[in-house]
Amino acid sequence: MELFSIASGSSGNCICVGNDRSHVMIDAGVSGKRIEAGMNTYDYTTPDMDGILITHEHSDHIMGLGVIARKYGLPIYATKGTVDAILTSSSVGKIDTDLFHVIEAGVEFAVGDLTIMPMSISHDAADPVAYLLTDGTRRIGVVTDLGVYNEEIIRQMQGLDAVLLEANHDINMLQVGSYPYPLKQRILGEKGHLSNEASGQLLGRILHDNMKHILLGHLSKENNYAQLAYETVRLEISLGDNPYRGNDFPIEVARRDGPSGLVTV
């Protein structure tokens, strides 16, 4: 299986996962032009995707969805709450309702050769999910936009071969930064975003000897930077109650504004 990020950050998200036979796009939060250019970086085109999985309706996850849907007619998979929110959003324009396929957190579904588990997450959206995908041999998780994690999330994330995990902000940068107080509280709250520290702590709970690759994503432009996220996550893994150290696994940071490297497991 393979994972690649066209963009991952608080200003836009688009991730792709697949194998030799099937691929899906997870979120379409950048322009259609950027999505197509990102696909071309990895020798794909948008029509090569077998479907679009939407995590939730915030603009940094659906900004390009209307254009992509109208141009290519790809099936769109999302929870009912997310579908309803998208259909009432003026930012994406009109989308043919026949393209939508309603899914449910905790209930597997298939797209081509891939089996996909939507995982309920804590975020301030209508009915948000993260996605765990397998082709029957390998398993990849794309897990962002969660304010907190719990034992059920940890359980579902066991045994992943690769993961793109949120490391949104540095707590101190956020607290002393220019964001208004209500926004700071939202981000730090239980329906906000994972900090670098929390990301490292969650990784400490799901790491295993056969984890092949970790990609840190959804970094805030204002309250984080790549090297800080990388070092903080590594430190949390090393200091945590687990048998590993931060340099035991390949860890990279997905770019906010462009394609990142191809992860193959």
Q: Per-domain residue ranges for the chain?
A: 1-105, 146-254
Given a cut of 50, the residues of the chain with pLDDT beneath it are none
- Closest to 120 measured CA to CA, from 152, 159, 166, 158: 152
Residue 3's φ and ψ, nearest 5 degrees, are -135, 130
- Report the pLDDT value the prediction gives residue 144, as an integer from 0 to 100: 98
Strands of 23-26's sheet, edge to edge?
Answer: 100-103, 76-79, 52-53, 23-26, 12-18, 2-9, 263-264
CATH number of 1-105: 3.60.15.10
- Report the pLDDT value the prediction gives residue 91, as an integer from 0 to 100: 87
- Report the pLDDT value the prediction gives residue 15, as an integer from 0 to 100: 98
- Bridge-based pairing of strands 2-9 and 263-264 is antiparallel
Residue 178 burial class via C-beta count within 10 angstroms: exposed 0-12, middle 13-18, buried 19 and up: exposed
